[in-house]
Amino acid sequence: MYDFLFLALFAGLGVALVAGPMGSLVVWQRMAYFGDTLAHGSLLGIALGLWFSWSNSIAVVVVCLFIAGLLIVFERQHLLATDTVLGILSHGSLALGLVALTLIPGARTDMEALLFGDILTVTTAEVTVVWLMAACVLIALWRLWPSLLAITVHEDLARVEGVRVDVVKAVLKLLLALVVAISMKVVGVLLITALLIIPAATARHFAKTPEQMAVLASIIAMLAVCAGLAASWWLNTPVGPSIVVSASLFFVLVLAGRGYRPLA
């Protein structure tokens, strides 16, 4: 009877698990705006999916990868500042997605579900996809972790020590695109970045090593998913925003409990 609740919980926990290490990297490398851009672009992915009758997840992944590729190309050109390029890609693709969704004949889309998530209607197939993708991303992060940290600390030093910096950076962007694609159903286009950065920022206060921060961020994100689902169940609030509110509450509580002390 409560199957849908368990499916929702499973999907949410899968996303939260991978959001820990990925969110930490997003925070360290200041990629929050990039995450937002991918998230906005995924709306365009949904539109494309409806247009060509592809599965949603595939269409979203395709568009996110395309945007990540565009950004890599733009960054190499050095014509515009990165945040300007991101602004163009982010809002351009969001607007295009919104327009495209209304133009598609016969498509009745629930805009609110797209923007803020619709985890309670998640299917078994979708949960499987979430966990498969999460597993792939986690394995890739595991393998690349030393290189990812090394380029976070100093790119040229990493390069001299033999890290293939450009490849690692490109792969990180692509992995983030995958995470965005699977997060969309859980928290929606507008809140994906929050699920990545708020648990990581909270975990920062307790962590002494990068690995501690990544693992703690996963745990905090999972707690936020549970709390958000519970709040939604008892208070009848939308799930996606409830998850993000829970994560934000954790952050505020930690900040208040800790007071102003320098970070370790």
Partner 1 sequence: MTALIELRGAGKSFANRTVLQAVNLNLVPGRIVTLIGPNGAGKTTLVKIVLGLLQPDTGSVQRSVQLRVGYMPQKLHIDPTLPLQVDRFLQFANADTAVCLAALDRVGIAHLIKQPVSGLSGGEMQRMLLARALLRKPNLLVLDEPVQGVDVTGQEALYQLIGELRDELNCGILMVSHDLHLVMAATDEVVCLNQHVCCHGTPQQVSVDPEFVALFGAKTALYTHHHDHEHGLHSGVVNGATSGLRDATCSHDTAQQAAKEGSQPDV
Residues contributing to the site for partner 1 (CB under 8 A): 27-28, 30, 146, 149-150, 152-154, 156-161, 200-201, 204, 207-210, 212-213, 262-264
Smallest distance from the beta carbon of 182 to partner 1, in angstroms? 24
Full DSSP string of 199-239 = HHHHHHTT-SSHHHHHHHHHHHHHHHHHHHHHHHHHH---H
Q: Which is nearer to partner 1, 12 or 199 (CB)?
A: 199
Smallest distance from the beta carbon of 257 to partner 1, in angstroms? 18
Smallest distance from the beta carbon of 149 to partner 1, in angstroms? 7
Q: Which is nearer to partner 1, 109 or 212 (CB)?
A: 212
Q: Which is nearer to partner 1, 96 or 254 (CB)?
A: 254
Q: Work out the end-to-end distance of the chain between its first and last CA atoms, rounded to an integer number of angstroms.
A: 47
Tokens 């609110």 found at:
112
Q: Which long-range contacts (CB under 8 A, 24 or more apart) does 205-209 make?
A: 205/254, 205/255, 205/258, 205/263, 206/254, 207/264, 208/264
Q: Which is nearer to partner 1, 129 or 150 (CB)?
A: 150
Q: Which is nearer to partner 1, 146 or 253 (CB)?
A: 146
Smallest distance from the beta carbon of 28 to partner 1, in angstroms? 5
Q: Is 30 exposed, middle or buried (0-12, 13-18, 19+ CB in 10 A)?
A: exposed
Instruction: Tell me the three state secondary structure of residue 238.
Output: coil
User: What DSSP designation does 164 have?
Assistant: -
Smallest distance from the beta carbon of 20 to partner 1, in angstroms? 14
Q: Which is nearer to partner 1, 91 or 154 (CB)?
A: 154
Tokens 């993708």 found at:
133
The CB density around residue 215, as the number of other CB atoms within 10 Å, is: 16
The CB density around residue 227, as the number of other CB atoms within 10 Å, is: 17
Smallest distance from the beta carbon of 24 to partner 1, in angstroms? 8
Query: Which residue, 262, 235, 251, is CA-closest to 196?
Result: 251
User: Distance between CA 36 and CA 91 in Å, rounded?
Assistant: 10
Smallest distance from the beta carbon of 73 to partner 1, in angstroms? 18
Q: Which is nearer to partner 1, 108 or 208 (CB)?
A: 208
User: Distance between CA 170 and CA 104 in Å, rounded?
Assistant: 33
Smallest distance from the beta carbon of 140 to partner 1, in angstroms? 19
Q: Which is nearer to partner 1, 14 or 20 (CB)?
A: 20
| Cα–Cα separations (whole angstroms), residue 39 to 67, 161, 178, 206 | 10, 34, 10, 28
